[in-house]
């Protein structure tokens, strides 16, 4: 039996590398008016499309752990009950996927990243985070983006437990960046002294991913 393809070899990965090489979907329109809600090059959907690297790890709440490590004063590994003991919040925000769809008014329940930061206390030299998922996916964020006011570690969507296909039990949501930055099936957060490329960032995608600046692809 042939080996399963690695994430680097999947059809989706090859296609998205090609999009990055071609600059697919770029409009060149990066200005934003005060009343504009939809970023350039995006279109609205009512459903929530499912995108992943070809596998959806089966992680129950009982099995789930979140390791927080690196440049913090209080490294922690949270189990499900400890995670739910953290302050819980509810927010509403939009999703903007780099594949050009956007979805308005998603209601999230979970833990604000700012509340998590108060617990783990990043060191002064911490400047970025690397997120790792249960399927091996990684993506990077500047600490300032991770600590945005509406960024959350979510476990409920529209009042219901976050489904497996959308990253349950827990995923990150950072609404002001393209949604590949909002890692599904979150397992580890490492605080770093400098920004370092994750999976898609190593495959032609932008290190930051601001939808309003059309930061879809790397400038390199």
pLDDT in tens, 101-113: 999 999 999 999 9
Establish if 15 belongs to a structural domain. Answer: no
Q: How many CB atoms are located within 10 Å of the residue 197 CB?
A: 15
Using pLDDT thresholds of 50, 70 and 90, give the confidence band for residue 3.
very low
The answer as to whether 37 is a domain residue is no
Return the pLDDT at 219.
77
Under 8 Å between Cβ of 167 and 184:
yes
pLDDT band at 1 (very low <50, low <70, confident <90, very high): very low
The secondary structure of residue 21, as a DSSP letter, is H
Structural domain count, the chain: 1
Report yes or no on 160 lying in a domain.
yes
Per this entry, what is the length of the chain? 220
- 23 in a structural domain: no
CA torsion angle for 166, 167, 171, 173 (degrees, to 10)? -20
The domain spanning residue 188 has which CATH number? 3.90.420.10
Taking CA atoms, 128 is separated from 14, 29, 136, in Å, by: 27, 28, 19
In the predicted model, is pLDDT for residue 23 greater than 80?
A: no
Helix (H, G, I), strand (E, B) or coil at 167: coil
Q: Tell me the average pLDDT across 67-87.
A: 98
Average the pLDDT over each of 47-61, 120-134, 168-182 and give the range with the smallest value. 47-61
What's the mean pLDDT in 122-148?
97
pLDDT, average across residues 163-175: 96
Structural domain harbouring 91: 42-48+60-207
Asked if residue 71 is part of any domain, the answer here is yes
Q: Which residues, other chains included, contact 204 with Cβ-Cβ below 8 Å and sequence gap of 6+?
A: 16, 17, 19, 20, 21, 217, 218
Backbone angles phi and psi of 54, in degrees to 5? 100, 0
Picking from 33-42, 85-94, 122-131, which range would have the lowest pLDDT averaged per residue? 33-42
Report whether pLDDT(89) > 60.
yes
Does 140 reside within a domain?
A: yes
56-81 b/e (C-beta count within 10 Å ≥ 16 → b): bbebeeeebebebebbbeeeeebebe
Q: Is the pLDDT of residue 27 over 80?
A: no
Q: How far is CA 93 from CA 108, 176, 214, in A?
A: 8, 9, 19
The answer to the question of residue 157 being in a domain is yes
> What pLDDT is attached to residue 55?
80
DSSP 205: B
Degrees to nearest 5, angle at CA 29 with 24 and 33:
140
Domain assignment of residue 111, yes or no? yes
* Phi/psi at 76 (5° precision): -140, 155
Per-residue pLDDT, 4: 38
> pLDDT at residue 19 above 60?
no
Mean pLDDT computed over every residue of the chain? 89
């Amino acid at each position: 039996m042939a080996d399963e393809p690695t994430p680097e070899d999947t059809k989706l990965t090859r296609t998205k590398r090609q999009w990055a090489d071609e600059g697919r979907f770029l409009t060149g329109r990066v200005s934003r008016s005060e009343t504009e809600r939809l970023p350039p090059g995006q279109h609205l959907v009512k459903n929530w499309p499912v995108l992943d690297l070809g596998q959806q790890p089966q992680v129950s709440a009982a099995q789930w752990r979140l390791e927080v490590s690196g440049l913090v004063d209080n490294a922690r590994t949270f189990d499900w009950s400890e995670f739910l003991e953290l302050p819980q919040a509810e927010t509403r925000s939009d999703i903007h996927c780099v594949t050009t769809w956007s979805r308005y008014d998603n209601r999230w329940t979970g833990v604000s990243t700012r509340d998590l930061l108060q617990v783990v206390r990043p060191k002064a030299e911490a400047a970025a985070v690397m997120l790792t998922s249960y399927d091996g996916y990684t993506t990077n964020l500047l600490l300032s983006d991770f600590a945005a006011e509406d960024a959350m570690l979510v476990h409920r969507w529209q009042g219901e437990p976050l489904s497996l296909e959308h990253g349950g039990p827990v995923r990150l949501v950072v609404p002001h960046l393209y949604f590949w930055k909002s890692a599904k099936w979150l397992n580890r957060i490492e605080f770093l002294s400098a920004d370092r490329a994750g999976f898609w960032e190593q495959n032609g995608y932008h290190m930051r991913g601001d939808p309003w600046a059309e930061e879809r692809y790397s400038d390199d």
